[in-house]
Structure 1
Amino acid sequence: MNKSKFIATLIIFLIRLVSKLSLRWAQRLGGWLGSLTWRCNAGPARVTRTNLQRCFPEKSEAEINALGAASMRETGKVAFETGAVWEWPAEKTLSLIKSIDGEHLIKEAEEAGKGLILLAPHLGNWEVAGLFFAARYSMAALYQPPKIEELDDYMRAVRERNGSELVPANKRGVMRLFHILRDQGVIGILPDQEPELSGGVFAPFFGIPANTIKLVSKLIERTGAKVLCVYAKRLPEGEGFVMTVRPVAADIYSEDLDVSAAALNATVEACVRETPEQYQWEYKRFKRRPDGERHFYD
């Protein structure tokens, strides 16, 4: 067995092991691991601190420390929740969603009779959000294969078990998204991942130029699809989640790419500010910089 296959086997074993826990205990263990990561000032903690200092310059060092520690606890919970989301029967996982905040927005989008783009940022538990909408719609989502190739089959199987279609993040996959929207279908996109420079445009995110995906703006322009922002907000003490649906900034429908991309980031930022501790701050969101700007994470 080669090294990557061994690692993949071990990861799948651990996910299945954690799935034997209740949600409350999984979150407790994940929160503990996140706290340890913060106290040890490990790599994810350092990136989190950098992002928080840049995005919340008005906060004191004590406030940054408190938010950073809370964020790492929530990130640990995401990791340990994976066992439940991927291994439990879909009906059991969906029972964790206790309410829907903004359900009327979904109904309004349905009544418009057009395609629907769901923006699902790395906030709360995006896997729960994906499962929720896949259970309601014939849905497709952009898919980036994992770095460990041997995990690909497993991740596809657990994500597609409820009927969701995974579309590769390449030219062929993008064309598939256009066709789905033109047929009044539903697609899901992670709007806060850094694209390649050729696929992005710099737009403000928390006041900082961030390399932002162009695809959403192009899909809207060519299909007239409606857009909503969604996330599964984690409730305390393992009580479950609130499926949260928010409107997008109106300018996201602008034909001006820069204006549309800025509105996309403003939409995500508004959601993050509702529950900042549940955002994935350890992601290097500002890794690529405009020409002449120094990298943040050196």
Structure 2
Amino acid sequence: MLGRIGVALAIAFLKFLAIIPYGITARFGDGLGWLLYQIPSRRKRIVHTNLKLCFPEWSDEKREDIAQKHFRHAIRSYVERSVQWFGSAKKLEKLIQVDSAVDLTDPDLPPTLFLGLHFVGIEAGSIFLNYSLHRRCGSLYQPFSNPQIEELAKAQRARFGADMASRADSARIVLRWLRDRKPVMLGADMDYGMRNSTFVPFFGIPTCTLTAVGRLAKTGRAQVVPFIGEVLPDYKGYRLKIFEPWDNYPTGDDEADARRMNAFLEEQIPHMPEQYYWVHKRFKTRPPGEPGFY
């Protein structure tokens, strides 16, 4: 765990990276990711395990290529928190393109859950979605192990008018936000254990998947709008892609609604497989009696 001095130095370094040209920061993160990929590590093994499970038809050469590209993207995404957390609104406007099927400035926007999918650009996408809404919104977060970093992340993620709430304490808060017509941003495509989850296929593998999105949408009478933060090539920034609201959702069937999210991911990931968050143990929780993958 980082001590107070270590955290202070890390924050100072992030603030420095935020004021230098973005291309330099991005290239530094990319190079650091390449370097760290050369070192055997648990996260590197997780990436390879996930890719082998989801794409067994790929050759070893292709899997290695995507794994290395993803590792570079993942490390780069941590470095680029500097720009996302401390860069000015004007700088973010220059770096992030918005491609939205929803009018984000509509004063009559119905109760909406914006579902962030865990591609490496999710941090940039979430922060700029908050900025682009031009109104207060709610945002859920996964707590950090270091309390100083958690307070920093909450403050910087909230700087364009977001009310923050921990994912563990979220249900009643989210429903209150929806009643107040606040758009709510949340992520659900990770393994958070069996609580409020079910096993549904993801690339053909029974995968522990949250059911909260469908149930919150049903109770809060909200539409669900997925979004993806895409890292653009040649260090040109990001694209925030906001999709049409899901039709006929929720159905009231927890398994069918959870499967809808995984099926949507299965459609989107092949467009940029190196950018999905493979460093996460997506298949950590297994059905009873089934051996683990990691």
- TM-score w.r.t. structure 1 length? 0.90
| Higher percent of residues as helix | 1
1:187 match: 184
CA 1:3/1:226 → structure 2, altered by over 3 Å: closer, same or farther? closer
| Cα displacement string for residues 72-101 of structure 1 (whole angstroms, at most 9, x for unaligned residues) | 111122112111111111232232113x33
The residue that corresponds to 1:176 in the other structure is: 173
Of the structure 1 ranges 285-294 and 127-136, higher mean CA displacement relative to structure 2 is found in 127-136
**Amino acid in the other structure paired with 2:278:** W
Structure 1 position 3, deviation (Å)? 5.5
More displaced, 242-251 or 284-293? Answer: 242-251
Residues 109, 58 of structure 1: CA spacing in aligned structure 2 closer, same or farther, 3 A cutoff?
farther
Amino acid at match of 1:130: S
Q: Deviation of residue 39 (structure 1)?
A: 2.2
Amino acid corresponding to residue 17 of structure 1 in structure 2: F
Whole-angstrom CA distance in 2 between matches of 1:205 and 1:83: 33
SS at match of 1:162: coil
Match of 1:159 in 2: 157
Structure 2 SS opposite 1:106 = coil
Q: Secondary structure at the match of 1:197?
A: coil
Secondary structure (helix, strand or coil) at the match of 2:225 reads: strand
> What's 1:65 paired with?
64
8 Å contact kept, 1:37–1:44: no
> How has the CA–CA distance of structure 1 residues 196 and 16 changed in structure 2, closer, same or farther, with 3 Å as cutoff?
same
Q: Which structure 1 segments of 5+ residues have no match?
A: none
**Cα distance 1:19–1:109, how it changes in 2: closer, same or farther (>3 A)?**
closer
User: Pick from 143, 146, 153: which aligns with 1:145?
Assistant: 143
Is 2:102–2:243's contact at 8 Å kept on the other side of the alignment?
Answer: no
The aligned amino acid for 1:114 is P
The residue correspondences of 1:135-284 to structure 2 (distance < 5 A) are 135=131, 136=133, 137-171=135-169, 173-247=170-244, 250=247, 252-284=249-281
Aligned to 1:130, which of 126, 130, 134? 126
Cα distance in 2 for partners of 1:93, 1:288 equals: 37
In structure 2, what is the Cα distance between the partners aligned to 1:72 and 1:17? 23
Letter of the aligned partner of 2:288 in structure 1?
D
Shift of 1:200: 1.2
SS of structure 2 residue aligned to 1:242: strand
Distance 1:167 1:31 in 2: 31
Length, aligned pairs only: 292
1:155-213 residue CA offsets vs partner (Å, 9 max, x unmatched):
12111111111012234x32110122233321111121222312211121122111111
Q: What is the TM-score of this pair, normalised by structure 2?
A: 0.92
1:178 maps to amino acid: L
Task: Give the superposition deviation at 1:290.
Answer: 0.7
| Correspondence 1:39 to 2:38 | yes
Q: Tell me, in whole angstroms, the C-alpha distance in 2 between the residues paired with 1:111 and 1:208.
A: 41
Distance 1:196 1:259, change over 3 A: same
User: Residue in 2 aligned with 1:48?
Assistant: 47
The alpha-carbon deviation at position 109 of structure 1 amounts to 11
Give 5+ residue unaligned stretches, structure 2: none
SS at match of 1:233: strand
Amino acid aligned to 1:223: G
- Is the 2:44–2:71 Cα contact (8 Å) retained in structure 1? yes
Q: Percent identity?
A: 26
